[in-house]
Amino acid sequence: MDNQRLFALAGLGLLLFVNYQTWQHDFAPPTVPAVAATAAVPTATPTSALNDTVPNAGAAPESATGTAPVQATTAIEPASPSVVGAEVHIRSDVLDLVVNTAGVTIQGATLTRYPLSLDQPNAFVQLFRAAGSADGVAVLQWGIAGAGADSAANTIYSTPETNYTLADGQESLDVPFTWTGNDGVAVTRTLHLKRGSYAIGLEQTVHNAGEAAWRGRPYAQFVHHWTKVDRSMFNPATYSYQGPAVYNGKKYQKLAVEKPDSDELPKGAITDGWIATLQHHFVTAIVPDAKVPTEYSMTVANADYRLTALGAWQDVAPGASAVFTNQIYVGPKLQDQLDAIAPKLDLTVDYGKLTVIAKPLFWLLSQVHKLVSNWGLAIILVTVIIKAVFFPLAQTSGRSMARMRNIAPRVKAIQDRYKDNREELGKQMMELYKREKVNPLSGCLPMLVQIPVFMGFYWVLLESVEMRQAPFIGWIQDLSIKDPIFILPALMCAAMFGQFKMNPTPPDPTQAKVFAIMPFFMTAMMAFFPAGLVLYWITNTGLSIAQQWHINKAVSEESQKSRN
């Protein structure tokens, strides 16, 4: 098989690989998580049940004295939807939260630095929304589960103000909510916000001024509406995973909502874990205290799910106090912030099976971006760096292709002479390649190397929120979506066609036609891909053309000298 046929196969392999990735996202079965879970609620269960139920604390263990535990008889729980609390607005420099005093439920979270689109600069991304919203419920509830919790879930908290704002020059903001029960148990819940951070500390302080011991289990949970997204190659963002996920201390897994299977999930408490709800570019996560064993569960009803982290039992003796802490993240998938909050939380930036390639690529891009402050220019420079790394391989391949171009007439003559004798044809071709020091396989190696790098760039541009609405020049104002007027795809087509013309012309007319239409086929396929990816391909092709032109010239001069 000659060099041209191998090139055609390499190009076909790239297209098949892209199609395989697309098929995997469209039709592959969802992964079932390996975490403890309650049985899924039957689909007939009303959706409101998810927003009105606190976790079942279960039976408490005996106290250290061996006596039966005295559990809280007054619940410290989120309120029922039928209970109307006051809305409290909390604003930092990056978040605008709405908290309902009924249960201190976070029912609104707006990211004030992230417009929905470039066409809607004053409409911002919202990650939490109250029940009854047009897009369905998305709230965070937190509390302490114990005896009587389900029967008294209407706790209304009080707070001094209804509006809190992180002032200029202020680095942190603490917002307290208080409640005191008839049995002497007082609770203060405090939200801790910091400037520039999307992490929020959740702190619950329980002071037992009663005569009986108090016992409870802290929890935090998402109640979230889930919508199945129809994939479309005209909108690459639809291939980004949307739904719940969990890290069980060892492994990150996505949770199946459409067909939950709790029987396959092991039970038990784990440490160093977290739960999250994902959407394209954004994530909300609950990160319990890493030292506290925590149980994770998910319950599904209709198109909604409740994802819960339930902590360990804790005793509070009369006259004593206890503090329960969790941390949540509500914001964009900024990898530096995610890394600092919890182990492996950066895996919510879902590069899939190509993480091993995509993550180093993003790191390199981010380092270059720090120097040039333009993601498009960073893509170009990183492409140059990658090209330089593989320069020796490309150089060897290029010289072989240049020699192939020079001996193309002799190849054609041998094919015509031995067209009826396949065995002799192969023998003569191999002797010619050996005599002229040509490796017909070497031309495919650069293409094969480019495939994983190409796919790695694809996922970096698709998943990294840093690329979202990142401008390059002129008409390219968002590198994470397609070129709005398709100029970059047109340039890519021209560059690929120019590269085709520089390579040896296949002696087989059919192969020649395949190579001639390949630039147009690739352009049609990539026209709706992120503009940053097309920019990478143009840069890589342009560098390949320049390198091959230089090699062709050098080899031609060498041949001329050898003949003289």
Q: What is the CATH number of the domain that holds 340?
A: 2.70.98.90
Query: Which of 302, 326, 350 is the last residue in one of the domains?
Result: 350
Q: Specify the number of domains making up the chain.
A: 2
Residue 477 to residue 483: CA distance in whole angstroms: 9
Phi-psi region of 268 (alpha: psi -120 to 50; beta: other; left: phi over 0): left
pLDDT of residue 508: 59
Residue 501 to residue 145: CA distance in whole angstroms: 71
Say whether both 291 and 402 belong to one domain. Answer: no
Q: Which two tokens stand for residue 429?
A: 């071709």
Query: Which of 298, 322, 350 is the last residue in one of the domains?
Result: 350
Contact 308, 296 (CB under 8 A): yes
Low-confidence ranges of the chain (pLDDT < 50): 1-9, 12, 15-16, 18-20, 22-48, 64-75, 79, 81, 148-153, 263-266
Residue 94 to residue 113: CA distance in whole angstroms: 6
Say whether both 52 and 8 belong to one domain. Answer: no
Enumerate the β-bridge partners of residue 277: 244, 284
Contact 2, 414 (CB under 8 A): no
pLDDT of residue 181: 81
Say whether both 145 and 44 belong to one domain. Answer: yes
Contact 368, 382 (CB under 8 A): yes
Other C-beta atoms closer than 10 Å to the C-beta of 302 total 16
In a domain, 355, yes or no: no
In a domain, 260, yes or no: yes
Say whether both 514 and 448 belong to one domain. Answer: yes
Say whether both 433 and 305 belong to one domain. Answer: no
Say whether both 412 and 448 belong to one domain. Answer: yes
Say whether both 435 and 300 belong to one domain. Answer: no
In a domain, 356, yes or no: no
Other C-beta atoms closer than 10 Å to the C-beta of 228 total 9
Residue of 198, 442, 195, 208 lying closest to 318 (CA atoms): 208
Q: Which two tokens stand for residue 78?
A: 């989120």
Say whether both 15 and 43 belong to one domain. Answer: no
In a domain, 492, yes or no: yes
In a domain, 67, yes or no: yes
CA distances from 557 to 18, 550, 564 (A): 40, 11, 11
Say whether both 334 and 367 belong to one domain. Answer: no
In a domain, 173, yes or no: yes
416-436 residue pLDDT tens: 788 788 888 778 878 877 777
Say whether both 8 and 147 belong to one domain. Answer: no
Q: Which two tokens stand for residue 241?
A: 């995973």
pLDDT of residue 563: 63
3-state secondary structure of 430: helix
Q: What is the number of helices (H) and of strands (E) in the chain? A: 11, 18
Say whether both 320 and 186 belong to one domain. Answer: yes
Say whether both 16 and 72 belong to one domain. Answer: no
pLDDT of residue 446: 64
Query: Which of 350, 385, 402 is the last residue in one of the domains?
Result: 350
Residue of 110, 487, 131 lying closest to 282 (CA atoms): 110
pLDDT of residue 4: 43
Phi, psi of 207 (to 5 degrees): -115, 120
Structural domain including 72 reads 31-350
Residue of 20, 55, 329, 343 lying closest to 192 (CA atoms): 329
Residue 132 to residue 377: CA distance in whole angstroms: 44
